[in-house]
A and B are shown apart, each in its own frame.
Chain A
Amino acid sequence: MRGASSRARARIFDRAFGVFTFLAAAILIALPVLLVIVIAQASWPALIRFGPAFILDKTWDPNLPPITFGAAPFITDTIITSLIALLIGIPISIGAAVFLAELAPDWLRAPVAAVVDLLAAVPSVVFGLWGLYVLVPYMRTTGDPLLTKYLGWSPLFAQHAGSQSGQSVLTASIILGIMILPTISSVSREALRATPDSQREAALSLGATRWEATRIGPLSYARSGIFGAAVLGLGRAMGETMAVTMTIGNSNNVGTSLIDPGQTLSSLIAINFGNALPLERAALVELGLILMGLSLLVNVVARLLLRSMTRMGATTA
């Protein structure tokens, strides 16, 4: 008798437990769905008012009639800053990954890898603070003048009236380049380590030097994983807000020079959202929609590239 009732009770608890976990899984599904609905709905006034021209329009002016909002400068700066960040971040992070996965002796590997990964634990606003008080003054007094002196002939590094503050597209890109280092480095390290030893041994036994063996073996074997790591870094750079907001100079005009101030999608949202009137707020939400689309695209590509790697048992960041 007692056995039967305890079995019945167990079944009820099993049911209840099943319901709770089901609800939690349903929340995991509902959140992104709700997100798309809420963001689409909140940006609707801007979507119907400006239409597809929103993407190409270069003015962002909430004050003078006719009020126009266009996303072009911010899309451009978002893409430019992330690409320069990749240019800076890729060689350093992949070089470090090769050293830590292939060359470092065992006693050195784990502690150095742990310290390197700590960079990922620094909050982005602290990167911003550091950028604003350390990197920006350096760019103002040393970096920008040097670039203008030697590369000023090219429009990319020309100095304009507004570009003497040290806050610029280039400064923000450098900060982003630093911030994506741990992402790219740790994911490509996993990819390199998933390479079977036979790949290295085969190259070495044919008389390859250490570098040649690394290039022929792990580096080509883990190619798609490393590429995926870089794309993941690109996604992180595009969505980054605070460090960029604090170092890019926050100018809504289209500049031609990298040492001009600029504005990304995320930094404009961060700066203007609090004080925006309804139509501007809808336009800002539409910027969020564009940003979300861009980062989804990049993340899907990264995931496809990394899938072959995760199937081998390694975990992604």
Chain B
Amino acid sequence: MRPPKRIRRRAKSLVLLGLCAVAVLLMLVPLASILYECFLNGAGAITPAFFLKNPPPPCNPTAGTTCPVGGVQDAILGTLLLVGLASLIALPVGILGGIYLSEFQDRPLARPARFLADVMTGIPSIVIGVFVFGIFYFFAQEGWITTFSVISGYTGAVALAVIMIPVVARTCEEALRLVPVSLREASLALGIPRHRTILRIVLSSGRGGVITGALLAVARAGGETAPLLLTAGFTTGSIAGLSGWTPALPVLIYQFASAQYPNTTQLAWGAALILVLMMLLISVGARLALRNKFGGRSA
């Protein structure tokens, strides 16, 4: 005899809702495993040498010998330079663009610019790498730059900037839109010029959201690998500025992961640990900043 319908319905409800709770746990497993593996395999590589030396040559340990582990000094430097230059290009352009989208909504460029910025964020980052490589390759063909400098830190930084600009612009726009119109009206009514109203009143009221968006874009650029693979190149030697092949931490992780020598593999895990911790820190920080500003908007 089947149980009464009411009980069956309740049982079904409990089972399905229980499965939803299990799904949350399933989502936490990969994150926990990634963090665990990064600590397990990478923590040993984090010594002073990790920040002060460059990677050793590939080496297979034989009986009685050990391989030096070395460090990733210039890849850290490379990442800082690449992301720094990219931010220097992308943050002003992105924020000014975001101001245009939010404050000059009635101007003719606003709608197409917003639409195309959205389109741009949906394009895979490796395609952006191909695009920026194509631009610099064209420059080299025209003789404006040397063939050698097609693959360089500068190309890589431009690629990162192209990825960042639409993200910064859209998040900046969203943040400024949350600023009440009455603030703008009050300021303009007091005779304060438009540019001062926007810079001093609107931008400073929406500061939290703008900074959050900028931080998230910087974090995203710091974790990008594919476009840098095509544009910035890679070297285990030391670098002088961005004019030559410039290693970045994510590219180093990729190169050393596939090389499969024990010592460089450990460096890859160490770099992954540093990278993940930085990303999590920025992500949590940005979230907290946003929470304080808008009273727990995120959920």
Contact = CB atoms under 8 A, between A and B. Distances in A.
A83 to B, nearest CB: 17
A81 interface: no
B37 A130 contact: yes
Contact of A210 (B13, B276, B298): B13
Interface residues of B, number: 98
Contact of A296 (B9, B117, B123): B123
Nearest to B116: A32
Q: Which of B12, B28, B282 has the most chain A CB atoms inside 10 A of its CB? A: B28
B28 A116 contact: yes
B70 to A, nearest CB: 18
B140 interface: no
B150 to A, nearest CB: 11
Contacts of B296: 110
A4 interface: no
Interface of B: 9-10, 12-14, 16-17, 19-24, 26-28, 30-31, 33-34, 37-38, 41, 92-97, 99-101, 103-104, 107, 109-110, 112-113, 116-120, 122-128, 130-131, 133-135, 137-138, 162, 165-166, 169, 174, 193-196, 198-199, 219, 222-226, 229-230, 250-251, 253-254, 257-258, 265, 268-269, 272, 275-276, 279-280, 282-284, 287, 296, 298-299
A132 B279 contact: no
B137 A29 contact: no
B169 A28 contact: yes
A99 to B, nearest CB: 4
A13 B196 CA distance: 9
Contacts of B130: 39, 42, 269, 273, 284-285, 288
A124 B119 contact: no
Main secondary structure of the interface of A (DSSP, over half): helix
A185 B27 contact: yes
A209 B9 CA distance: 7
Nearest to A235: B122
Contact of B113 (A11, A28, A96, A118): A28
Please provide the 9 A-B residue pairs with the shortest distance between their CB atoms, ordered closest to farther.
A239-B124, A95-B23, A123-B223, A24-B96, A299-B122, A211-B13, A17-B195, A209-B13, A10-B193
A184 B149 CA distance: 40
